[in-house]
Structure 1
């Protein structure tokens, strides 16, 4: 698979991945990590974890990759790996690696995939997970307020009723069991530290739809 090293891509073999994971206390995968800042903060705050940021737009991760490669005393995080990949095409070497999965403020294909329960996206998430892994999806609900962007006008609004009647069964088809669905604000999830959420918190609380699911034993 390809990882981000500074301003370039590099191959990362299965043996290197095994060494990276090692005896990690927890492996967390941040899917659609964007600029990688959330993954970086998780890695820095939890040095016994291994944190993997996954995103196909690898250039956005270059700054954090450079910062992560420094010595730990200067902000480096040797327990962070930034992978150039989309969730619907997860590298085989990452299958079954995650103890926890995060999807924070997704957009584009990832947003559509989790809201509509599309098999390629939700199945890709399941392939990343060990059985029993928690999937935590947080979506800024203001995207459904007018003016709604053209590319998501056909997406159903995330409500408990929609999750119960439609999305839950679609997630189950991809190997997930919904355990909780809540509507709140960004103030309720103060650990969320993506660049977007921090900017939102500086103005007004963002309405948040949160879905938590467990990976079933079967794929």
Structure 2
């Protein structure tokens, strides 16, 4: 596993992750974390949690890693771990680590993967989750409004109806039971229970679709209900 440490990539000793996990009351994994600023803010707000940001473009996370490496009194966040990886090839060290998995405003392959319910993406998301873990997918709806970006013109629009009729079944095949999908305006985000929605805040004018799911076992999928 490669993690971002300041301006460099390092391979930490396995005991480092074990120690971080042992101290954490809750483990949150932010998939496609980008510049990791949202993950950093959550780590600062919840110092008893371990926040893991995952992204294959590690250079974008570097400035946040520099900031997080400072002493806590100077803005550091020792409970933030930034991992250089795509979710499709997530390191085995992160398997089964998460109490909560977030995909916040994805783009590129990650966006296509969650909208289509692609196997490599769905399986990667499930791999990092403990049984019973929550999955929050938040996508801005404006990307499907004219002018639609060239990269997504063939991508089905993510709507509650699409989630119910298409995506829920695909996610179920990889151990996720969808528990809800709703379109939410920025003004309504404060009422959402998701810690990631609260990080966006009510001042965000974006209208988003928020998809929620729970990590379940194959037996629970067959039964249609998380134990």
TM-score of Structure 1 vs Structure 2, range by shorter chain = over 0.9
Structure 1's consecutive aligned runs of 4 or more residues displaced over 4 angstroms after TM superposition are: none
- The answer to whether the 8 Å contact 1:181/1:212 transfers is yes
- The answer to whether the 8 Å contact 1:37/1:193 transfers is no
**How many angstroms apart in 1 are the aligned matches of 2:57 and 2:13?**
20
Partner of 1:144: 144
How high is the TM-score relative to the length of structure 2?
A: 0.90
Please list every run of 5 or more consecutive structure 2 residues that lacks an aligned counterpart in the other structure. Answer: 191-195, 222-227
Residue deviations 1:21-61 (CA, integer Å, cap 9, x gap): 11311000010000001110111000110000000000001
1:186 aligns with 2:183: no
Partner of 1:16: 16
Residue deviations 1:121-162 (CA, integer Å, cap 9, x gap): 011000000000000000000000011111111111111211
Q: Aligned-residue CA RMSD in angstroms?
A: 1.6
**How many angstroms apart in 2 are the aligned matches of 1:5 and 1:23?**
20
How high is the TM-score relative to the length of structure 1?
A: 0.93
Most deviating of 179-188 and 134-143 = 179-188
Partner of 1:73: 73
- The answer to whether the 8 Å contact 2:126/2:174 transfers is yes
Q: What's the CA shift for 1:186? A: 2.3
Partner of 1:165: 165
Residue deviations 1:56-104 (CA, integer Å, cap 9, x gap): 0000011110000000000101100000000000100100000001110
- The answer to whether the 8 Å contact 2:100/2:134 transfers is yes
Partner of 1:213: 213
Q: What's the CA shift for 1:188? A: 2.3
**How many angstroms apart in 1 are the aligned matches of 2:108 and 2:22?**
34
Partner of 1:29: 29
Q: Which runs of structure 2 are paired with 1:82-101 in the superposition (5 Å)?
A: 82-101=82-101
- The answer to whether the 8 Å contact 1:38/1:193 transfers is no
- Could you say what secondary structure the match of 1:189 adopts? helix
**How many angstroms apart in 2 are the aligned matches of 1:157 and 1:171?**
17
Partner of 2:224: none
- Could you say what secondary structure the match of 1:163 adopts? helix
Q: What's the CA shift for 1:187? A: 2.5
Most deviating of 149-158 and 110-119 = 149-158
- Could you say what secondary structure the match of 1:22 adopts? helix
Q: Which runs of structure 2 are paired with 1:116-155 in the superposition (5 Å)?
A: 116-155=116-155
